[in-house]
A and B are shown apart, each in its own frame.
Chain A
Amino acid sequence: MQKINALVYITRVEHFNAAHKLYNPSWSHEKNEEVFGKCANENWHGHNFELHVTLKGDPDEETGFVYDAKKLSMIIKENVTEKLDHKNLNVDVSFLSGKICSVENLIIEIWLLLSPHLPPQVSLHSLKLYETPRIYVEYYGK
């Protein structure tokens, strides 16, 4: 088969539903409300989060794949979304313990969780994490 020399980005989208609150325990309740508004509700609120994982590489000569998207899905599910889905991010998720559960902090932790589980031939390009259809963050690992 012909080898294609072209950098291609492939993205797999996964999702998880979780509760959280934005709250800095070293601040007073009033200060938290002032900064985080209704996101500081002590009884939590929640979102349908959507995670976009983008790999980059040349399509493989034999398969035509940069990486098998089904395998990528399984790696993301096993190492990331199963730890977050239907959880309370502040209470149930050990790797967020002591951190403010903003979508910014979450995407950095997801990168750290995911990258060791990708095979060496694969290059993780970026993560995109949607908290709502209107709010998302991107992270490139640096």
Chain B
Amino acid sequence: MNKVAVYRKEHFNAAHRLHNDLWDEATNDKVFGKCNNPHYHGHNYDLVVKVTGVPDEKTGFVMDMKLISDIINMEILEKFDHKNLNEDCVEFKNLNPTAENIAVVIYNILRDKISSHLDLQVRLYETERNFVEYPVN
């Protein structure tokens, strides 16, 4: 049977800043620029979750997209929507909330919730122009 990829798109709005505690202010400013603002800034994040597998014989679904949406809402949006990623989210206590790291965190959370016989990939848009994907094939 041929594999098919299905995609579900969700979004969340959050504040963050990019900062490395081990560096001095000047280095943080040099590397992270205006993203280092100690008072934070924010984004409308768009999250695209890709699930790949063989459509089920009985339902025709790779995975029910409503179920994918429910899992994303419960496991990701509940944690991150209208939050400060640095301050409110334990996942980023010791991890810089770059788009790259947020995508890896989201993948790891979702991987446990989606059947292991389905392939999973996340694409995270921080802005329309900046987006990341994980894992890379």
- Residue-wise, chain B 16-50 has the 8 Å CB interface mask toward A (1 for contact) of 10000000000000000011010111111000000
Name the one of A38, A39, A92 contacting B37, with C-beta atoms under 8 angstroms. A92
B37 touches A88 (CB 8 A): yes
A47 touches B43 (CB 8 A): yes
For the side of the interface on B, what is the size category?
Answer: 20 to 34
Interface window among A16-24, A51-59, A63-71, A113-121:
A16-24
A77 CB → nearest B CB, Å? 14
Which residues of chain A are within 8 angstroms of B84 by Cβ–Cβ distance?
19, 41, 43-45
Given A44-B15, A46-B16, A47-B13, A19 and B44 touching (CB < 8 A)?
no
Q: Is B82 an interface residue (CB 8 A)?
A: yes
Which residues of chain A are within 8 angstroms of B37 by Cβ–Cβ distance?
86-88, 92
Across the interface, name the chain B residue whose C-beta is closest to A39: B82
Q: Is B79 an interface residue (CB 8 A)?
A: no
B83 touches A47 (CB 8 A): no
Which residues of chain B are within 8 angstroms of A18 by Cβ–Cβ distance?
41-42
For the side of the interface on A, what is the size category?
Answer: 20 to 34
Which residues of chain A are within 8 angstroms of B91 by Cβ–Cβ distance?
none
Give the docked Cα–Cα distance between A32 and B34 (Å): 30
Across the interface, name the chain A residue whose C-beta is closest to B88: A43
Given A43-B87, A46-B13, A38 and B82 touching (CB < 8 A)?
yes
A41 CB → nearest B CB, Å? 5
Name the one of B11, B34, B42 contacting A45, with C-beta atoms under 8 angstroms. B42
Give the docked Cα–Cα distance between A47 and B43 (Å): 4
Q: Is B100 an interface residue (CB 8 A)?
A: no
A23 CB → nearest B CB, Å? 13
B44 touches A47 (CB 8 A): yes
- By Cβ-Cβ distance, the 10 closest A-B pairs, closest first, are A46-B42, A88-B39, A86-B34, A38-B82, A43-B84, A19-B15, A46-B15, A44-B15, A19-B42, A45-B82
Residue pairs across A and B with Cβ atoms less than 8 A apart, 23 shown, are A17-B41, A19-B39, A19-B84, A39-B82, A41-B82, A41-B84, A43-B88, A45-B14, A45-B84, A46-B14, A46-B15, A46-B42, A47-B44, A48-B44, A85-B41, A86-B37, A87-B37, A88-B15, A88-B37, A88-B39, A88-B41, A132-B13, A132-B44
